[in-house]
Structure 1
Amino acid sequence: MAHDGAVVDPRSGFCQSNSIFYSKRRSVLLPSVPYLDVTTYIASRPHTGKVALVDASTGRKITYPELWRAVHAVAASLSQSHGVRKGDVVLILSPNSIYFPVVALAVMSIGGVLTTTNPLNTPGEIAKQVSDSKSRFAFTTSALLSKLSTGAAACLPVVILDSDAEPPRDSRVVSSIKEMMASGSGRRAAYEHVSQDDTATLLYSSGTTGVSKGVASTHRNLISMTEIIINRFKLDGSVGGNNHVFLCTVPMFHIFGLVAFATGMLGSGSTVVVLSKFEMGEMMSAIATHRVTYLPLVPPILVAMTQHAQAIRAKYDLSSLKSVLSGGAPLSREVIEGFAEKYPGVEILQGYGLTESTGIGASTDSAEESRRFGTAGMLSPNTQARIVDPDTGESLPMNRSGELWLRGPYVMKGYFSNPEATASTLNSGGWLRTGDLCYIDEDGFLFVVDRLKELIKYKGYQVAPAELEALLHTHPDILDAAVIPFPDREVGQFPMAYVVRKEGSRLSEAEVMDFVATKVAPYKRIRRVAFVSAIPKNPSGKILRKDLIKLATSKI
């Protein structure tokens, strides 16, 4: 097969002449018109779906006609009553909710830029993001309003997302989602033209290293990922996408939850059942009640479902379930076979992606593909990859491990107001350096070997060691510190700290953990501490994390 004149091996997708791997999946067609926002694109896709969103706990439904009326009303209210303009950044601080997609689609339809944050974050962490992203408007719930109380966050006008509760008496509260949805004609008002190259979202990621940075994704990025996701699940709405019911267990503030369930799936006529918080019993009950066909989850939940399969199947009717969608880490042979044995009618699909790739860069799209144990899948449609030797910069062929570089229509524009970080992650040829050590085999399957980047993945949440190290250095009794990922069967990895105490200090393990716990979200907490006389570093002063990981895991 040939790509742009290059001769490509049909089995692996590899081209000898330019050392590029090409996706073996059929390309998806993307709109070429320059002016198009992702909301208009999603709204205009034909389908026969009826119910768009369902609240798993209350059963409240939003039909497709109601959804688009609500989106237009909220967009008009933002623009006409609250002065939100193209390029203005709007924050959502909220757990999953059927109103999250309404706000996200409304903001992007007027050219606003959406930024999201984890409800578990502390007021200080949220204030830092508000300041960095230059947010000027916010949506949150009554319960979370107090988190917008520090620094720049305390000055934002706020809309309350609880539909039934009376909005709290607070001078910053300018409206409620209920009022906004009831206002306006429900017809789309005229706004400034939005280009596919305009920024649509600003999600925060630690990237390949270091502290959290705003990932600027464009409307084109989101449109292309919407098409890739709909294509992956064969959800062409014109032929019955409404038969598919997805349970949104993943957070909508995260790239996968936002692009797949808060926006993309709504272009296919599928129904998205929204779980506001994860609890195993509630998840199982929602599958049975709403006849869910697709269930996204992270590996620890899949393991728990396997371990408790007998009790689960005795209590809940899971006969509607066709597929589980696992992400965050590749599944082992033992886990895949164990799950298949307990749930014989359910296929496992896996995926690999980053915030910087607006979601999925590779995936397994059938049970057969997932049986190639340890793989993250084949490259997504419209995708090219390189495997690059991190030391020499040489592009490598099949079955050789190096850093994975990706190129495709979904690769971010760059890091917001951070040209240095952008230049070190995106090169001039449009290649995204993922920071993951990978190889691609002779059949075009991607395998993730290790992380070059220093992220810790706790239950799928990203934790940056650099952020926790900076915090530990502020403690009066700590001379030096390093944070590493410690492997754990239940959560994947948790942060462990190596600490050098100041002379004469009797600082304890519990005191270190308590100090950090008061200043960060629960998922970032240090859960193990070891005291050492010095932190191992290379000549340039970089922490030798691999040595510390070896030391920590040798004692398991």
Structure 2
Amino acid sequence: MAQWRRGNAWRSAANRRVARLVALSGASVAFAVSSTAAKLPAGLPTILLDSPHFRSLLHSDQAGVNESAPLDTGAVCQSATATIQYSSGTTGRVKAAALPHRSFIAQAAGFHARHVRPRKVHERTLMGAPMFHSMGFFFALNGLAQGLTTVVMTDAATRAGLRGMLEAAQRWEVTEMTAAPPVVLGMTKDRCRLTSLARVVCGGAPLPTSVAEQFRRRFPHVDLCMAGGISLMIDRDECSRVGSAGRISHNVEVKIVDIITGEPLPVGRKGELCVRGPSIMTGYVGDDEANAAAFDSEGWLKTGDLCYIDEDGFLFVVDRLKELIKYPHEEAGEIPMALVVRQPGSKVTEAQVMEHVAKQVAPYKKVRKVVFVDSIPKSPAGKILRRQLSDHMQPCHVSRL
């Protein structure tokens, strides 16, 4: 907030290729801890947050400071870049998305406009999503905007994973928490007693319907809500719409277009989701090629999500366009395959997996190869790192589908 007050842009970096990302954003100063400072480019001024000098500054009484003195701040306009957030890089190279100040103003305004029940002063939100992720970053700011108590986990709690998060939720008697789909799944299998919890806001990736149903059976007193950059579920009736990503937030225009012609589609038809409005990013920093592919001539952002909107205005995310099999023919050189993690003690076979999938998909989507692996690579936010899955793939004979 202090950086924004001075008109500076904030960049969060949580990636092994930190040096490249910092160079891409053009950062002039960095905040780091001793264990991560070495990853930064040489010569970049760095403030160590775990240094004795910085910690003493936080706990000093600021004697001699003239609090009435005017702050030296620059002029800040809503179109100026407020933060640069990096994409997950699950399907390709990491990109740096620039978000202006108006984006957070529009998101907060949309959130307040949709909030159908009054907030209570004793409510506490646990930051289950990391702040380098857009959802965690927004909810941290939203707590400040509403004057609520926000619980931020310590490094030790974060390293403890799900157990550390749930223990923090119990200790601080939180009423709301943010979580990625893997956390929601973990909560259904844990024996935790979260009696104070009233709502879980899930985002970052689609939540399988089966997991949502398990959660509601395990925590019948908790509202499970979905949140995304353009859609949000708030009231209990909306949260019960299984499989939906919610209704479209205020201050956002959307349209569903045909993936071939680009023509707008009516309600109920599946196509690519395109969005426009003040909350949308202004573009990818230093990547003209990505910007040309992401935006059309009228300023619509092409999300790459295959979606449809029902007659009640609920958005449903079906798939990612990059993950669809567009050419179901042997000349395409690709066939569907599955990477499977067996449950402990399971003896499921390749044939059984292929038979199970075959009963649920179109003929050209049938799995033709199964590879059993120990784990599926995921990002810190819980997204599957699809670009790493290729390590498990080997050339195989393409038979007629």
TM-score tier, shorter chain, comes to 0.7 to 0.9
- Alignment match of 1:446 (pick from 309, 315, 318): 315
- Aligned-residue CA RMSD (Å): 3.5
Q: 1:312 is matched with which residue?
A: 192
C-alpha offsets along residues 186-236 of structure 1, whole Å, 9 cap, x if unaligned? 555032211111111111126896422211111111111122234444587
1:241 CA displacement: 5.0
Is the CA contact (8 Å cut-off) linking 2:272 and 2:304 kept in structure 1?
A: yes
Q: 2:146 is matched with which residue?
A: 268
Give the direction of change, closer, same or farther, for the CA distance of 1:319–1:533 in structure 2 (3 Å limit). closer
Give the distance between the partners of 2:186 and 2:223, measured in 1 at CA: 17
Unaligned runs of 5+ in 1: 1-104, 168-175, 353-359, 456-480, 491-508, 517-521, 537-546, 552-556
1:382 CA displacement: 2.0
RCO (CA 8 Å, sep 6+): is it higher in 1 or 2?
Answer: 1
Give the distance between the partners of 1:214 and 1:177, measured in 2 at CA: 31
Give the direction of change, closer, same or farther, for the CA distance of 1:208–1:127 in structure 2 (3 Å limit). closer
Verify: 1:250 aligned to 2:129, yes or no.
yes
- Alignment match of 1:226 (pick from 108, 119, 127): 108
1:147 CA displacement: 2.3
Give the direction of change, closer, same or farther, for the CA distance of 1:427–1:270 in structure 2 (3 Å limit). same
1:523 CA displacement: 7.9
Verify: 1:110 aligned to 2:6, yes or no.
yes
Unaligned runs of 5+ in 2: 325-333, 344-370, 378-382
1:296 CA displacement: 0.9
C-alpha offsets along residues 299-331 of structure 1, whole Å, 9 cap, x if unaligned? 2221221122xx323xxxx22111011113333
Verify: 1:131 aligned to 2:20, yes or no.
no
Instruction: Determine helix, strand or coil for the equivalent of 1:375.
Output: coil
| 1:96-495 to 2 correspondences below 5 Å | 105-118=1-14, 121-122=15-16, 125-148=17-40, 153-162=41-50, 165-166=51-52, 176=54, 178-179=56-57, 182=60, 184-186=65-67, 189-205=71-87, 210-233=92-115, 242-261=121-140, 263-276=141-154, 277=158, 279-308=161-190, 311-313=191-193, 318-352=194-228, 360-453=229-322, 486=339
Give the direction of change, closer, same or farther, for the CA distance of 1:180–1:111 in structure 2 (3 Å limit). farther
Is the CA contact (8 Å cut-off) linking 1:330 and 1:375 kept in structure 2?
A: no
C-alpha offsets along residues 420-467 of structure 1, whole Å, 9 cap, x if unaligned? 322221223231111100011111111111101469xxxxxxxxxxxx
Give the distance between the partners of 2:123 and 2:341, measured in 1 at CA: 34
Q: Which amino acid aligns with 1:154?
A: A
Give the distance between the partners of 2:341 and 2:248, measured in 1 at CA: 29
1:335 CA displacement: 2.4
Q: 1:532 is matched with which residue?
A: 395
C-alpha offsets along residues 280-313 of structure 1, whole Å, 9 cap, x if unaligned? 23222222221201011112221221122xx323
Is the CA contact (8 Å cut-off) linking 2:90 and 2:384 kept in structure 1?
A: no
Is the CA contact (8 Å cut-off) linking 1:208 and 1:434 kept in structure 2?
A: no
Aligned residues: 347
1:418 CA displacement: 2.3
| 1:485-524 to 2 correspondences below 5 Å | 486=339
Give the distance between the partners of 1:208 and 1:284, measured in 2 at CA: 27
C-alpha offsets along residues 327-347 of structure 1, whole Å, 9 cap, x if unaligned? 133334432332222212111
Percentage of matched positions with identical amino acids: 36
1:489 CA displacement: 9.7
Q: 1:22 is matched with which residue?
A: none
Give the direction of change, closer, same or farther, for the CA distance of 1:523–1:453 in structure 2 (3 Å limit). closer
Is the CA contact (8 Å cut-off) linking 1:229 and 1:260 kept in structure 2?
A: no
Give the direction of change, closer, same or farther, for the CA distance of 1:388–1:364 in structure 2 (3 Å limit). same
Give the distance between the partners of 1:208 and 1:435, measured in 2 at CA: 13
Q: Which amino acid aligns with 1:530?
A: M
Q: Which amino acid aligns with 1:143?
A: S
Give the distance between the partners of 1:486 and 1:440, measured in 2 at CA: 31
Give the direction of change, closer, same or farther, for the CA distance of 1:369–1:235 in structure 2 (3 Å limit). closer
Give the distance between the partners of 1:489 and 1:252, measured in 2 at CA: 32
Give the direction of change, closer, same or farther, for the CA distance of 1:180–1:371 in structure 2 (3 Å limit). closer
Instruction: Determine helix, strand or coil for the equivalent of 1:325.
Output: strand
Instruction: Determine helix, strand or coil for the equivalent of 1:251.
Output: coil
Q: Which amino acid aligns with 1:293?
A: T
Instruction: Determine helix, strand or coil for the equivalent of 2:36.
Output: helix
Give the distance between the partners of 1:398 and 1:160, measured in 2 at CA: 52
TM-score, normalised by the number of residues in structure 1: 0.56
1:270 CA displacement: 0.5
Instruction: Determine helix, strand or coil for the equivalent of 1:243.
Output: coil
Further displaced range: 180-189 or 289-298 = 180-189
1:156 CA displacement: 1.0
Is the CA contact (8 Å cut-off) linking 2:307 and 2:317 kept in structure 1?
A: yes
Give the distance between the partners of 1:283 and 1:333, measured in 2 at CA: 23
Give the distance between the partners of 1:230 and 1:331, measured in 2 at CA: 24
Give the direction of change, closer, same or farther, for the CA distance of 1:135–1:387 in structure 2 (3 Å limit). same
TM-score, normalised by the number of residues in structure 2: 0.77
Give the distance between the partners of 1:523 and 1:127, measured in 2 at CA: 23
Instruction: Determine helix, strand or coil for the equivalent of 2:245.
Output: strand
Give the distance between the partners of 2:189 and 2:219, measured in 1 at CA: 11
Instruction: Determine helix, strand or coil for the equivalent of 2:290.
Output: helix
Is the CA contact (8 Å cut-off) linking 1:221 and 1:409 kept in structure 2?
A: yes
Q: 1:25 is matched with which residue?
A: none
Is the CA contact (8 Å cut-off) linking 2:31 and 2:46 kept in structure 1?
A: yes
C-alpha offsets along residues 373-409 of structure 1, whole Å, 9 cap, x if unaligned? 2111110112221101010111100111000011222
Give the direction of change, closer, same or farther, for the CA distance of 1:366–1:437 in structure 2 (3 Å limit). same
Q: Which amino acid aligns with 1:111?
A: G
Instruction: Determine helix, strand or coil for the equivalent of 1:448.
Output: strand
Instruction: Determine helix, strand or coil for the equivalent of 2:136.
Output: helix
